[in-house]
Amino acid sequence: MKSVGRCRAHTNIALIKYWGKRNDELFLPMNSSLSLTLDAFYTDTQVILDESLVSDVFYLDDVKQGEKETEKITNFLNLFRNRANIETKACIKSYNHVPTAAGLASSASAFSALAGAMNQATNLNLDLETLSTFARQGSGSATRSIYGGFVEWDMGEADLSETSHAVQVDDASWDIGMIVIAVNTGKKKLSSRVGMKQTIATSPFYSSWVETATKDIKNIKKAIKSKDFVTLGEITESNGMKMHATMLGAMPPISYWEPDSVKAIQKVKEIRDTGLPCYVTMDAGPNVKVLCKKSDMTEIENRLLEDFDRKQIIPSHVGEGITLLSEDEWNY
């Protein structure tokens, strides 16, 4: 007996960041976060549950993965197998349309695509909210990639796993876009998982970070509701900088920045000073993401091309939530 599931999930970029867990096993965050789903970066994943397999097998971009990577996947699949009361092993094939581990949140699209595919293969029919609580337990940021547009990941209550899930705040079908400035797409040296733990344990700024992120969430939701792009951008930029400032306060200090990150930030500020509203945010990597109006994207791209190569500038529109792929749509 074989049972198949196929799903596409897009990555998301947090405008209000998640940086720290209150419960490591359950991936429960210290604060709620809010993101924008992007259509330019995604993962396609196929799960085949196969009675004849003796262990899970995991291929990423056609390369068979080793024990360590496969074990992470096995643990994640077990969440679904336990719920469905089955033990069937799986063959997983994932294709990343994201520069892996470049701070472009590839784990977000990876675990939400896997959650969507596994939901289909097991016939569990979990609703999206519940599915986001499963995705969360693969990688925190994956909680948000279940949905498109602007998405809030509600931190939830106490140690109650089912209360910490994502919701769509707005479909972002207005004048919104994002441009990624790829400064360095190599693998990052310090994973977010380790970086956030180290920040909680040693940064004296951590409690202020949680406080300020909580206020930022409230205010950014107001800005989204009133489609106030400037306030949206200002809160986004400020929140990202505050996260990085909190990391710098860790011992030893954590910085994901490179000289070209600073160059990109300064360039964006220069563009903004000429009257085009655009704002930066950065994650656990050196790449810079620019939140801008969709209608200004071409102009901003052209200005960025004065200082960066074509291949470093990746524009993206707003992305959708997870979608199941038919056999015909599976072009691998």
237 HSE (CA, 13 A, CB side): 18
Q: How far is CA 152 from CA 76, 145, 167, 224, in A?
A: 22, 10, 5, 12
Bridge partners, residue 3, by sequence = 49
Bridge partners, residue 95, by sequence = 44
Sign of the CA dihedral with 47 first, then 52, 53, and 59 last: negative
Bridge partners, residue 23, by sequence = 28
The secondary structure element, H or E, covering residue 240 is helix 229-248
Does residue number 41 form part of the binding site for ligand DP6 (CB under 6 A)? no
Does residue number 112 form part of the binding site for ligand DP6 (CB under 6 A)? no
d(CA 231, CA 90): 46
Spell out, one character per residue from 145 to 184, where the chain touches ligand DP6: x when CB under 6 A holds, - when not.
----------------------------------------
d(CA 68, CA 6): 23
Q: Which CB atom, from 253 or from 298, has the smaller least distance to ligand DP6? A: 253
Q: Which CB atom, from 7 or from 155, has the smaller least distance to ligand DP6? A: 155
Does residue number 193 form part of the binding site for ligand DP6 (CB under 6 A)? yes
Q: Which CB atom, from 107 or from 312, has the smaller least distance to ligand DP6? A: 107
> What is the nearest approach in angstroms of ligand DP6 to the Cβ of residue 129?
18
Does residue number 114 form part of the binding site for ligand DP6 (CB under 6 A)? no
Does residue number 209 form part of the binding site for ligand DP6 (CB under 6 A)? no
Does residue number 33 form part of the binding site for ligand DP6 (CB under 6 A)? yes
Q: Which one among 46, 109, 139, 236 touches ligand DP6, defined by CB under 6 A?
A: 139
Does residue number 236 form part of the binding site for ligand DP6 (CB under 6 A)? no
Does residue number 47 form part of the binding site for ligand DP6 (CB under 6 A)? no
Q: Which one among 105, 183, 290, 322 touches ligand DP6, defined by CB under 6 A?
A: 105
Q: Which CB atom, from 43 or from 141, has the smaller least distance to ligand DP6? A: 141
d(CA 226, CA 198): 37
> What is the nearest approach in angstroms of ligand DP6 to the Cβ of residue 152?
11
Q: Which CB atom, from 90 or from 110, has the smaller least distance to ligand DP6? A: 110
Query: Phi and psi (nearest 5°) for 101?
Result: 55, 30
Neighbours of 247 (CB within 10 A): 24
Query: Phi and psi (nearest 5°) for 51?
Result: -60, -25
Provide the binding-site residues for ligand DP6, judged by CB under 6 A: 14, 17-19, 27, 33, 105, 107, 139-141, 192-193, 283-284
